[in-house]
Chains A and B, each alone.
Chain A
């Protein structure tokens, strides 16, 4: 899939996409839980 001429930098791409997803999903979870805690009280 990747011809020789192009540098093999896929690892960085995967790492970046995963980290970004983790941060954004993580923050989503944080907000969700804080929201639920408020509405219950």
Chain B
């Protein structure tokens, strides 16, 4: 068990170091976030649509983009360095390998999402701070689910033709439940609804995470066994 965690952390750290040295993906994510915020702000009629109505959608468009960007970055790194083949030769279990990648992806997405959220609170007058705890909870729960599936799929997709097209095509149905739940919860939080109304959704998200993190961890070895 100790080995599992240690090896996973080594893999994660390698991935994260690679990214923070180049910082390309994180920059484009931030630029996109700012862009989305500006576009939505100018696109609405302030007398007709309140910010609160748009806020959940804006946030989750940005957050899911961050997710897709992360996954792309992850497999582009694989493509360039054929790092996966190298890692497979290392004396670490397949499970550690997968968990390491998952952790790296989650960390990266978290950085982008938190920054996006901060930018959002700066530009929009939405009561984020009163609900920051459940908001962060739903961000973690929703993102973990589809990043787990995305990490699994990107490992496979690297070896296919049309890799960059394949990933979003395969992933689309898997984005649906987490995103629906996430937007619903966020909308209720901003509207000041009682927490009891979001508990059902949060449970659904938790169930989704448990199901797919386990499934992805279990299935990953099948994608790399020779």
Do chains A and B make direct contact within the complex (CB under 8 angstroms)? no
Show the binding face of B for A, using Cβ within 8 Å.
none
